[in-house]
Amino acid sequence: MAHVNNTYGTMAVKTGMLIIAAALLFAPFLFQDVRALEVAARICIFIVLVASYDLLIGYTGIVSFAHTMFFGFGSYGAAIALKQMGPGWDAVAIGTLAGILVSLVVATVIGLISLRVKAIFFAMITLAAASVVLVLASQLSHLTGGEDGITYRAPDLFKTANKLMVDDNGKVVRWFGVKLNGKLAAYYFVFFSSLALFLVMLRITVSPLGTVLKAIRENESRAEAIGYRVVAYRTFVFCLSAVAASVAGSIYAIWLKYTGPDTALSFAIMIDILLMVVIGGMGTMWGAVIGAVLMVMAQYYLRDLMGAASEATANIPLLPELLAPDRWLFWLGIIFILLVYFFPRGIAGTVMTKGARK
Amino acid sequence: MDKLSETLGRYGGVNLLPVVLAAIAFVLIGAPSSWVTLTIAGLSMGMMVFLMASGLSLVFGLMDVMNFGHSAFISFGAFVAASVLAALGGWLDSDSVLLASAALGLALLAAITFGLAAGLFFETVIIRPVYRDHLRQILITMGALIVSEQIILAVWGGTPVTVPRPSFLDGAWIIGDVSIEIYRVFAFGLGAVVFTGLYLLLNRSRIGLLIRAGVENREMVESLGFKINRLFIGVFMLGSALAALGGAMWAGYETLITPALGGEMMIVVFIVVIIGGLGSIEGTLLGAIIVGLTANYIGYLAPKLALASNMILMMAILMWRPSGLRPAVK
C-alpha cells in the first residue's frame, strides 16, 4: 500500500472521523427524537463490531462468518444473567464475563483446528459453526427464549424514569431541552464503552502486533520464514476480535433490554457486518466507522425512500417488487459486488490514497 | 496395527465408514424395521445432498474457486421446479402415470436448464474477474448470494410454497413391518444414475481425462494447448445444473419450501464437501452418505443433537484427516 499518512485524502477521512465522533458524542442533544438516539447507539455498537471484524478480514486476511456468533454469546450472556439474577451490575459483570469466556473457548477451538488449513476452509467451517449456534439458540428455549428471545430490565441507572439531576420542584433537569434521565445515561454508557473498545483496537493496529498481522496477510509463508508462528498469531487475533465482538454484544443487550436471534445471532447481521467492512474499506479502522455509519443510516432511512420509489413505479412489472422497502439488501448487494470489483479498498481506502505521492 | 490398516485398506479403507456407521446404528437402534427405514432415508438424503455438493467440489478442485453463492442455484432449482409443477397441475392430477411423469420430467428439466444458464451467467460475469483471489471470491460470491436471495424473495415472495408431486411417487411400500417411502427410493435411484454418469464422464471420457488432469495440474494442461477456461465454464455450468436438480429433488422431498431452503442446505453441503475432501466426486458421495446417515440416525436416537451432530462429525474427521476423507486437490 502506498504511503497514505500525509495525503489530503487522509486528512479528509480524519476530519470526517472528528465530525462523526462529535455527532455521536452530542447525538442526544443534536437529534432529539427516540428513533435518532436508537440509530446513534446502533452506530456505536456496530463501529466496534465492524472494527473487530476488520482486525480479522482487513488486517490479517482471515474470512470468518462466525462474528455474529461471538456477538450473540456476549448478548445472550448479559441477557441471561440479567434475566436470572435481576437487574444489577453484578449480573452485567457476570454475564459479560461469561460471554467473553465462551467466546474465548470457542474461538480457540475453532482457531486451532481450522486456522492451519486454507482460508476457504476456515470460512466454511465458521459458517457451519455459526449456523449450528443459531439453531442451538432457538432450540434451548428454556434458557434463550427460543425464537421469541428474552426481555429483561437493565440496571436501575438506565431506567428512563431514573432522574440523574432534579431541580427544586423535584422534576428532572433539562439541558438544551434534553431530559437528564436514565436513557441519556444509557446512551453515554454505550458511547463511551464503544469508544474505549475502538481506541484499544486502534492502538493494536499500530502496535508491532498489527505490523505482524499485516505481514501475515501479505505473505504468509514469508512471515513464517522470518520466525513468526502464523497459526498462533491468527488464533490470537481471532480470539481478540471474538472478545471485542462479545463485549459489544453485552453492551447492546444492556441498551436494547431485549435479546433474540434477530438482534444478536441471525445471519442477516453477519451480512450487515460484511457489507459495512467492505463498503467502508478493509484494512483501516476508519473504514469500519464509515461503513457502520452509512449502513445503519441506510437501514433506518433508505427504506422510507425506497417505499416512495416503489409506489412511484407501481405500473412497471417487477420493478416495484425490487424497489419495495424490504428489498433494500438487493441494491446493497449490487453495490457491494461493484465495490469489490472496482474499489476493493472501500470508501476510506480509496479516499485516503487520493493525493498520495507515487 | 499396520497390518490391520492394510487389511482395512484392501477392503475399501475410508469407504467402509458408512457401513461401520450403519452397523453401530443397528446396535443402538435395536429395532430392525426402524433401522431399515432410517437407512433408506439417510441414503436418499445423502444422494440429494450429493447432487447439490458435487458441483461445488468439482469447481473448487478444477479452478481453485470457492463459490459461496452455490446455494442460490439450489434455491432457484427448487423454486423453478415448484413453479413448473404447479403450472402443470392438471397433468399431475390426471390418472395417467405417463402425463404425471412427463410433468415431473419437465420440472426437473426446467431446473437443470435454469441451472445451466445461471451457471454460465455466474461464471462469466461474477467469478471470471476474481480468479486466484480467494478473499475477493468469497466476498463477491457472498454478494451474489445476497442479490439472488433477494430476487427469489421478490419473485416468489417470502411465504412458503407448496410443491405438488406426482401421485405415483406419494405414499410408501410396506414390506413386513418396514415402510419405505417411494419418493426416497426415486431420489436414491436418480442420485445413483447421476453419480454413475459423472463417474463415467470423469473416468472414461476424453473430457473427463482433461478435467482430472486440470485438477491435478492446471498449468501443464494449458501448456499442452487445451483451453482450460472453456472446460471450466462447462464444469461450472454442470455443477450449477446439478445443484439446481438437487434443489428440485429436495423441494419434492420437503413438499413445502421457503426461500431459506438454499441457506439451510448450504451448511450441509459445506460440511459434506469438507468431510469428503475437495475435488473428487467419490469423496463427495462418501461425505454425503455419511452425513445423510448420521443426520437420520441421530435424528431418531437424539433429536436435539441432530444439527450439532454434523458439526461434531466434521470436527472429528478434520482432526483425523485435515483435508477430508478422499481429497483430489493437493
Beta-carbon contacts of residue A282 (< 8 Å; ≥ 6 apart): A54, A57, A58, A344, A345, A346, A349
Distance CA A244, CA A232 (A): 18
Closest among A144, A265, A244, A141 to A197, alpha carbons compared? A244
Closest among A45, A93, A109 to A239, alpha carbons compared? A109
Name chain B contacts of A123, Cβ cutoff 8 Å.
66, 68, 138
Q: Is A338 exposed, middle or buried (0-12, 13-18, 19+ CB in 10 A)?
A: exposed
Name chain B contacts of A324, Cβ cutoff 8 Å.
154
Quick check: B134 and A113 CB within 8 A? no
Q: Specify the pLDDT at position A100.
A: 95
Closest residue to B311, CB basis, from A128, A267, A274 = A128
Q: Specify the pLDDT at position B321.
A: 80
Q: Specify the pLDDT at position B329.
A: 53
Which of A62, A117, A131 to mutate to probe the B interface, most B CBs <10 Å?
A131
Q: Is A316 on the interface with B (CB under 8 A)?
A: no
Spell out, as residue ranges, where chain A has pLDDT lower than 70.
1-6, 116-119, 164-166, 170-173, 177, 314-315, 317-322, 355-358
Closest residue to A340, CB basis, from B136, B147, B307 = B136
ipTM metric: 0.80
- Give domain A16-352's CATH number out of 3.40.50, 1.10.287, 1.10.357, 1.10.3470: 1.10.3470
The set of cell numbers assigned to A114 is 481450522
Q: What are the average pLDDT values for consecutive 10-residue runs of chain B, which has 330 residues?
A: 70 77 84 86 91 86 80 92 85 76 88 92 85 81 88 85 80 79 88 92 88 82 86 89 92 86 85 84 90 89 77 81 71
Nearest chain B alpha carbon to A324: B154
Which of B142, B151, B294, B318 to mutate to probe the A interface, most A CBs <10 Å?
B142
Cell 431541580, located at residue: A167
Q: Specify the pLDDT at position B211.
A: 84
Quick check: B147 and A63 CB within 8 A? no
Type of residue numbered A287: G
Quick check: A341 and B322 CB within 8 A? no
Q: Is B67 on the interface with A (CB under 8 A)?
A: no
Q: Specify the pLDDT at position A201.
A: 92
Name chain B contacts of A341, Cβ cutoff 8 Å.
129-130, 140
Beta-carbon contacts of residue B109 (< 8 Å; ≥ 6 apart): none
Q: Is B323 on the interface with A (CB under 8 A)?
A: yes
Quick check: A128 and B153 CB within 8 A? no
**A-proximal residues of B, 87-126, CB under 8 Å:** 126
Quick check: B270 and A57 CB within 8 A? no
Which of A229-268 are b and which e, b meaning 16 or more Cβ less than 10 Å from the residue's Cβ?
ebeebbbbbbbbbbbbbbbbbbbbbbbbbbbbbebbbbbe
Q: Specify the pLDDT at position B197.
A: 92
Q: Is B271 on the interface with A (CB under 8 A)?
A: yes
Which of B60, B264, B267, B313 to mutate to probe the A interface, most A CBs <10 Å?
B267
Q: Where are the domains of chain A?
A: 16-352
Beta-carbon contacts of residue A297 (< 8 Å; ≥ 6 apart): A39, A43
Type of residue numbered B77: G
Cell 415402510, located at residue: B179
Helices (H) and strands (E) in chain A, counts: 18, 4
Quick check: A327 and B273 CB within 8 A? no
Quote the pTM value: 0.82
Type of residue numbered A125: I
Name chain B contacts of A57, Cβ cutoff 8 Å.
135
Cell 464503552, located at residue: A193
- pLDDT per residue as tens digits for the range A80-129: 998 888 888 888 899 999 999 999 999 998 888 777 666 677 888 888 88
Helix/strand/coil for A91:
helix
SS3 content of chain A, % helix, strand, coil (to 5): 75, 5, 20
DSSP class of A163: B
Nearest chain A alpha carbon to B320: A113
Distance CA A223, CA A233 (A): 11
Quick check: B147 and A334 CB within 8 A? yes
Distance CA B179, CA B38 (A): 10
Distance CA B169, CA B44 (A): 14
- Average pLDDT, whole number, for chain A? 83
Which of A337, A338, A339, A345 to mutate to probe the B interface, most B CBs <10 Å?
A337
Length of chain B: 330
